[in-house]
Amino acid sequence: MPLLLVLVLAAACGGNQPAPENGEVEPYPTVLVPPSSLDGDFAMEQEVTMTHAQGENVFRAVLQKQGDELVLVGLAPHGGRAFVLTQRGTEVSFESFMPRDLPFPPEYILHDIHRAWFKDAPGEGGEMDGERVTETVEGDRVTERRYERLDGQPEGAIVVTYEGGMAPGAPVTEAPPERVVLDNQWFGYRATIISRNWQRL
């Protein structure tokens, strides 16, 4: 879950988080694969703690994949919906219940979801979609994924750490790790994701 989601929920509760410099975010080069290519259906509730230059935010979200549809529901502090973000095939739609527009395309949220959960490292060379992707594996479990831009813009990496390792098939067909940390050095934030109430559908 990215800082983008923090900005979403901050807007929902009247927060005053600043937009990225110049009102722009460098586009992610990654490609969103159709949800139907993920073999299985699931739903899970997540508690997310975001640490960034402006402080810390804690919020809940529900992520569900069923057939060719991936849905993220962001929950406002009062328990209502802040937004519903849907990917059907390769098409993305966004329904907002917030008083402000997002300062970025909603699909950027989906890119970090795919990074954390669905993007296995490629084979020899480790390059895809303009990035170098490397994995650290212990036994049959992934303990870390690292994404670096081939053009070096921006510098640094997005590093996803899976506490206890992520089992093959997780989170689609197997339970995800209880705790995952996504450290985005490109945009200067860290997300600690606690997965709760995971179930296969």
Give the tens place of pLDDT for each residue, 143-175. Answer: 999 999 998 888 899 999 999 999 999 999 999
- Under the banding of pLDDT at 50, 70 and 90, the label for residue 105 is confident
The Cα 145–Cα 122 span in angstroms is 11
Indicate if the alpha-carbon torsion angle 121, 144, 31, 169 is positive or negative: positive
Residue 48 buriedness (CB in 10 A; 0-12 / 13-18 / 19+): buried
Sheet holding 91-96, edge to edge: 91-96, 81-88, 69-75, 55-66, 42-52, 189-200, 179-184, 158-166, 141-149, 131-138, 127-128
pLDDT computed for residue 23 by the predictor: 46
The model's pTM:
0.81
Instruction: Give Cα 194 distance to the centre of its chain.
Output: 13
pLDDT top residue among 16 and 132: 132
Nearest by Cα to 116 from 54, 42, 179, 61: 179
The Cα 21–Cα 19 span in angstroms is 6
Q: What is the mean pLDDT of residues 120-138?
A: 82
When mean pLDDT is compared across 18-32, 88-102, 183-197, the lowest value belongs to 18-32
Q: What is the mean pLDDT of residues 63-92?
A: 90
**200 φ, ψ to 5°?**
-80, 145
pLDDT computed for residue 1 by the predictor: 42
Instruction: Give Cα 114 distance to the centre of its chain.
Output: 6
Cβ–Cβ < 8 Å for 107, 92: yes
pLDDT computed for residue 102 by the predictor: 60
Fold of the domain built from segment(s) 3-200:
outer membrane lipoprotein receptor (LolB), chain A (2.50.20)
pLDDT computed for residue 126 by the predictor: 82
Half-sphere exposure of 153 (CA within 13 A, CB side): 5
Ordered by start, the domain boundaries in the chain are: 3-200
- Under the banding of pLDDT at 50, 70 and 90, the label for residue 11 is very low
